[in-house]
Amino acid sequence: MIKKLIVVLAVIAFGFAAKIYHDTMRDPVIVRTVVESDSLGVGAAPITIALVADIHMAGPDMPPARVDRIVDQTNALGADLIAIAGDLVSEKRVATRHYSAAEIAAPLAGLEAPLGVVFVPGNHDHWFDWPALQAELAKLGNVAVMENEAAQFGPLAVGAIGDSYVDRADIPATMAQMRELEGARVILTHSPDIFPSVPVDVDLVMAGHTHCGQVAYPWGGSPMTMSDFGELYACGRVDQHQKTLITSAGLGTSLLPMRLFTQPEIWLIELRPVARP
Segment 97-114 shows an average pLDDT of 97
What's the confidence (pLDDT) of residue 11? 64
Sign of CA dihedral 157, 166, 102, 105: negative
Answer whether residue 210 shows pLDDT above 90. yes
User: In 3-state terms, what secondary structure has residue 84?
Assistant: strand
**Rg of the Cα trace of the chain?**
19
**Confidence band of 10 (pLDDT split at 50, 70, 90):** low
Give residue-wise pLDDT tens across range 28-40: 999 999 999 999 8
Answer whether residue 14 shows pLDDT above 80. no
Segment 257-276 shows an average pLDDT of 93
Segment 20-32 shows an average pLDDT of 94
Segment 208-233 shows an average pLDDT of 93
Answer whether residue 57 shows pLDDT above 70. yes
Q: Which residue, 180, 176, 160, is CA-closest to 119?
A: 160
Could you tell me if 57 and 98 are in contact, meaning their C-beta atoms sit under 8 angstroms apart?
no
**CA pair distance 184, 197, nearest whole angstrom:** 18
Domain layout of the chain by residue ranges: 2-273
Within a 10 A sphere around the Cβ of 222, how many other Cβ atoms? 20
Which long-range CB contacts under 8 A does 125-133 form with residues at least 24 apart?
125/86, 125/87, 125/88, 125/89, 126/163, 126/166, 126/168, 127/89, 127/91, 127/166, 128/89, 128/91, 128/101, 129/101, 132/101, 133/88, 133/89, 133/101, 133/104, 133/105
Segment 240-261 shows an average pLDDT of 95
What's the confidence (pLDDT) of residue 7? 63
Segment 247-276 shows an average pLDDT of 94
Is the CATH code 3.60.21.10 the one for domain 2-273? yes
**What residue type is 124 in one-letter code?**
H
What's the confidence (pLDDT) of residue 220? 85
What's the confidence (pLDDT) of residue 277? 63
**Confidence band of 41 (pLDDT split at 50, 70, 90):** confident
Could you tell me if 58 and 51 are in contact, meaning their C-beta atoms sit under 8 angstroms apart?
no
- Per-residue CA distances from 103 to 67, 160, 214, 235 (Å): 11, 24, 25, 29
Segment 62-85 shows an average pLDDT of 98
Could you tell me if 207 and 244 are in contact, meaning their C-beta atoms sit under 8 angstroms apart?
no
Answer whether residue 83 shows pLDDT above 80. yes
Q: Say how many Å lie between the first and final Cα of the chain, rounded.
A: 70
Give residue-wise pLDDT tens across range 150-198: 999 999 999 999 999 999 999 999 999 999 999 999 999 999 999 999 9
What's the confidence (pLDDT) of residue 131? 97
- H/E element, 41: none
Average of per-residue pLDDT values in the chain = 94
